[in-house]
Structure formats: structure tokens, C-alpha cells
Amino acid sequence: MIRTVVAVVAVLFALAAAAPAQTLAPNELGRVMILEYHKIDYPEERWTRTPENFRRDLETLYARGYRLIALNDLLDGRISVPAGTTPVVLTFDDSSPGQFRYVERDGRVEIDPKSGIGVLEAFIRERPDFGRAATFYVLPGASRPNKLFNQDEYAGKKLQYLVTNGYEIGNHTLWHANLGKYEEPTVRGQIAEAQVWIQRHVPDYRPRTLALPHGVYPKDVTWAVRGTAKGASYQHDAILMVAGGAAPSPFSRNFDALHLPRIQAVEHDLAYWLGYFEKHPGERFVSDGDPAAVTVQGVQRDRLRSPLPRSLRVVER
């Protein structure tokens, strides 16, 4: 029975990948997928995506008209993807080894092509119009193998590579603490110390977002938003949940940056949401190609959040 279900899901996902991208009218009040990956490794399991399946995910997204956008750009309403395409955000939790690995070949150190960043970079070289963006939620104080991708000698090199090449680093606490179990000093300490460790390798870099370990909020959400502990100050513009589905448009009045939902990047969930937006194209964010404009259907205007940045103009169609 289990094999049958898995086979059916795989077929649905393959069909979604093979179907040609539709020509969609602009709809910048549609929803956006923020995909949540964990391990990139073998074998395929609940929290593990194989390198081959991760590559297939990227191919599917590209074929269906999705283009990468940085999470911070989504938060700021800077939607710079071609007209008719849909922004998608990639996130990686827990800094496991398969997400970013260096290997030595012929006396040189290079990115493992089977690691997540290796697969992603290779795909971007082949499809440069796909964009380059992802947010890595790292655990600088975790036990092995999740301590900054499990290669101490390359920890700084990896974080510097990410920042230099247009990727983002997010806060995931020091060692994946369940923030709902602790009082204010521990919560603040977990968040502030994680930032301190990150900044040891990339000075002056400010993680703008926090992904909640286990998806659990602290007793008071303001503890996670901003504060100071042990001489270090932090401030987050968004807090990401561990599930919840597609996120509202950043231009929608339903957009809540402190409760930002994600889609877990597993076979069933990916297939479901790709199929959902094929069946309900009116609910999908579709770019107008102009970062300075927000294009909406006239009947949707009352769904716009207020105020919008002054740099944006609203276009009705």
C-alpha cells in the first residue's frame, strides 16, 4: 500500500514537471511558495531530499514558470522577476552536511556537486534566468553533524561564499532550541548568540529573518523579534513557521511577516502545491515584470495592504 501511494505521488509530480508553463496574466496579490528543505542526502526520507530529486524540483519549478527571489526582497516588496513568471523562495534549515560540502579533488578544494549548493549552482549556470537566491538557516552551536555544515575548517569560507554570491543567512537559534520551553533570558540568548557566531565569520552581516525550530513560538513573540542578550542586539523582519502552505502576497493585507508560512519540500507537498496552482491559477502570484508597480484586478484592490511603499504604484487591469 505504501509503495502504491509513493508511486502515485511520483507520477503526479512527474506530470507537473512535464506540463508546459502557461501564459498567465499579472496577479500580484496571488500567493507565493516559500519552500523548506532540510537534508540533501541519501536515501529519500521524510526530511531528506536526494540530490537528484532536488535537481528535479528545480527543473519542475523552472518549467512551470517559477523564478527564484531572495526572501529579503520578498519582504521588501522588490519583486524583480520576468512578466508572467512567479517568484519562489528556497530555504534550507539546520545546516546539515549535504546542504553545503567541500571536497578535495586533484589537490584543489571545490564544492561537492552532489551537495545542495552544488546542485543549485549547476542548475543556475544552465538556466541563468532562473535567478540565484536561497536562505540558509544555520546552527552555529549545534552538535555534529549540524554545526555549520559539519566542516569546521571551512565554516567561515562557506558563510562568506553564501553572502558573496547573493544567498542569505538566517537565524535558527544557537542549537535548535525549542523556544516555547524557555523563559525570556534563554530565548534571547539563543537568538543573540547565534547571530554572534555568524558574525564571527561574516562581520556586519545582519540576519533579518528567524526560522522557528520545531515551528514553536516563544511565550512572547516580541522576544524573537528584537532584543539584546550578552551585549549583542538582534532584530528580525520576519519569523518563519515550519509549515502552513503558500504565503500571502507581500502586497496583501493578509501578509503577516511574523507568521510567515512555508511549504515543506517533500514529494507529496510539492506535488500538491504545484497542482493546486495549476487548478487555481487565479490564486498564484504572477509578476507584471515591473518592480515599481503592483498589478491587481480591479475587484481585488481592497485586498491591498496599506500603506504600500511610496516607491510602488498600483496598476489595475
User: For residue 160, what is the enclosing H or E element?
Assistant: helix 155-164
Q: Going residue by residue through the chain (317 aa), what tens digit of pLDDT does each one get?
A: 444 444 444 544 554 444 444 579 999 999 999 999 999 999 999 999 999 999 999 999 999 999 999 999 999 999 999 999 999 999 999 999 999 999 999 999 999 999 999 999 999 999 999 999 999 999 999 999 999 999 999 999 999 999 999 999 999 999 999 999 999 999 999 999 999 999 999 999 999 999 999 999 999 999 999 999 989 999 999 999 999 999 999 999 999 999 999 999 999 999 999 999 999 999 999 999 999 999 998 889 999 999 999 999 999 98
2 to 5, 7, 8, 9, 192: CA distances (angstroms): 5, 9, 10, 11, 43
Q: Classify domain 32-290 by CATH architecture.
A: Alpha-Beta Barrel (3.20)
Distance CA 277, CA 210 (A): 27
Question: Which grid coordinates belong to 261?
Answer: 508560512
Q: What is the DSSP code string of 219-269?
A: SSTHHHHEEEETTEEEE-SEEEEEEESSBPPTTBTT--TTSEEEEE-SHHH
At residue 2, the pLDDT reads 41
At residue 56, the pLDDT reads 98
| Bridge pairing between strands 86-93 and 66-68 | parallel
At residue 160, the pLDDT reads 98
Residue 111 pairs in a beta bridge with 102
Residue where the block lists cell 532562473: 130
Distance CA 100, CA 92 (A): 10
At residue 22, the pLDDT reads 54
